[in-house]
Structure 1
């Protein structure tokens, strides 16, 4: 039976902009920069300010699409080893978010875990979240952190610091061709 929260009912959003932001964060971490790079943060702030309400919503939907894509890849990978993605990925993700109280306040961790669990059960993270109302300002950085942490997890599994970004850009390229 089809769920109204299925991915086929969800807008994909601006996946290109979302992966650009996540890739920028990944590169910042791998370049050895710690903390927030003021120049990078200024560029991100300038970019997000230029989006307007529709663009911001598209970026949020794009981040949720990334979460769905990342979790789908993780689910398929874990299933090849007879493991459950929820059992192996969610606890690690939650533990990492708990160590980031400035970026991810404890009260939004259940929502971020819910997004991942929704994706792991083949539901659209953005439609699952939207049933509870509009995004709050407190959820925006944790949403980015969730997508970032999933990408970093994939990169560590594959031992390739660009795997998650490449996977998404290749999917976008093949969608453009098709």
Structure 2
């Protein structure tokens, strides 16, 4: 079988090896780190964008963050998440079509190791903003690099689009006016 590790099959293998539905090492610690810095008062609805197999969305649900929805483009991952975590809603949808999704607004949106995978990060962020209530928090926890560094060629094109730290402020200003 030929596959990339940054694919649904690769993520399933990594999740099994790590005894949880997290594709990256240290994922639960990353979630706890982020959650500790979020003011929870007023948070009723949480959206996990790029939820994969559902581990992060399930963590927020299990820790009482309110109604949690996981969103991912991969139907196999969504099917697994639905079967494994029945208390969480999971939706198969591309972030590029998120603005067309009719849903109640979210108070907190998180993206754990998924933003790099969006070829048009401006569109992704704009669409995420479209499903947020005014004053909502958006947390992006992802791979990053400085403008001076480059992605090693041997990693190939499947590495995605790691965040360029210096460009993030400009992206947020352009999309959200912050």
Q: Is this a same-fold pair by TM over 0.5?
A: no
The TM-score normalised by the length of structure 2 is 0.32
Comparing both structures, which one devotes a greater share of its residues to helix?
Answer: 1
The TM-score normalised by the length of structure 1 is 0.32
Comparing both structures, which one devotes a greater share of its residues to strand?
Answer: 2
Higher normalized contact order (CA 8 Å, seq sep 6+, divided by chain length): 1
